[in-house]
Amino acid sequence: MEENARPGTHPARGLGAVTGAVMLLGAVLGPGALALPTLAADAAGPASLLAWALLLLASVPVAATFAALGGTHPDGGGVAHFAAIAFDGRIAAAVSWWFLTAVPLGVTAAALMGGHYIAAALGAGPGFAMGVGFGLLVASFALNAAGLHATGRIQVLTATVMVTLLVVTVTVSFGGVRSEAFTPFAPHGWGSVGTAATVLFFAFAGWEAATHLSADFADPVRGLRRATTLTLALVIALYLGLAVVTLGVLGPSAGSDPAPLLTLLRRAFGPTGTALATAAALLLTFGASNAYLASGARLGAALGRDGALPRRLVGRTTPGREPRRSLAFLGACCLVVAVPVLGGVVTLDGLVRATSALLAAVTLTGTLAGIRLLRGRQRGNAVVASAFLAVVLVFCGALLVIPAVIGAAAVLAAGSARVGS
């Protein structure tokens, strides 16, 4: 992949550290805050706290690696761009297909999480949840079509309210934490911590998304590093706090409560908690969808620029122009994903786990590229991050078939394209 932005050519009105942090926060601190505490508690009970802690700790070298890569090699192709430089075009093709597959799966899962939460808050049924979820998805597509600057301005507002709501939830709920709620600590055995970690990876896979926006920063080196540091501090505090109060207040029911944030807010604020939970679901869903659609659209356009995907489908990267054709392609992919979801063939848990497996493969490839492209302490971060991500992939188990099949298809397509040329 050729570089989309070179020194001295970054947009004058590009993203700053604060707006960049907001976009990144939307990718990492998304609707996972709504449903993942329950999914993790169901998998491992109170021992899921270990999975949260391990993932938060591992997020430091992972985030640092992608900030360094994005600052050094800014390009809309993101991890695929790094893979092309560090390895070859076949690996880059596999990464591209993994991420482009993960985007429609992930944003659909995010939309459904938000829809189900809002339906639970309002006492509505599954049909209403589906309608709200897909309505949120359409709104995210419309906002991205308006442009990255419009998306960034709205993200600043929504992120401010979102963080405030989560801080209030953790603060007011902390007094209700009971020590007995954490016993037995590992009711499903210690191996369940690894299972919980694969589910929770859905909430920590946003760091690679920022690399697709790296070329849109006014100063990719300092801006992306500062945005990552700010986001990392907020994510660690909010996710760990939310996990503790969910387990400590709800106890054994934490693993079966479909809307733990709603329950916490209702306990703290009564009927007002319903409105707060609805607002949180809207903001968390909207923020994550916006961030991933912005990243996915830029990757698709970068692939069109480099001839890795047909330009009729995804267009190509053009400085100063929004990748609307690529965005439309992602919209069509979301419609394809929606069919089995609406038909009840694919569940929310299935979407989350499939997305996690794909993004874990993308993220590991990115950190492995970091080992080859970075030096000094940055390279050390990449080594630590790669070791951790390899363990996460192992715990994905049978789901590894998904990135394996998609990756093989991408490599074959890339080989055919070279032969044809």
pLDDT in tens, the chain (421 residues): 433 333 344 444 556 667 777 767 766 776 667 777 888 888 888 999 998 888 888 888 988 898 888 888 887 777 888 999 999 888 988 998 998 899 999 888 888 888 888 888 888 888 898 888 889 888 888 877 776 555 556 667 777 777 888 888 889 888 889 989 898 888 888 888 887 887 777 666 667 766 666 666 667 667 777 888 888 888 888 888 888 999 999 888 888 887 788 888 888 888 888 888 888 888 778 777 877 788 788 888 877 877 777 777 777 666 556 788 888 899 999 989 888 887 888 887 788 888 888 988 999 999 999 999 999 999 999 999 999 888 878 878 888 999 999 999 888 877 665 544 4
Structural domains for the chain: 17-420 (1.20.1740.10)
Question: For the chain, how are helix, strand and coil distributed in percent, rounded to 5?
Answer: 80, 0, 20
Nearest of 101, 98, 127 to residue 115 by alpha carbon: 127
How big is the CA angle at 135 (ends 131 and 138), to the nearest 5 degrees? 145
Residue in the structure block whose two tokens are 């192709």: 77
DSSP 327-396: HHHHHHHHHHHHHHHHTTSS-HHHHHHHHHHHHHHHHHHHHHHHHHH--HHHHHHHHHHHHHHHHHHHHT
Q: How many Cβ atoms sit within 10 Å of the Cβ of residue 416?
A: 10
What is the rounded CA–CA span in Å between residue 360 and residue 410? 17
Question: Which residue is listed with tokens 């050729």?
Answer: 2
The helix/strand/coil state of 189 is coil
What is the pTM for the complete model shown?
0.76
Residue type, position 13, single letter: R
- Name residue, tokens 């049978």: 398
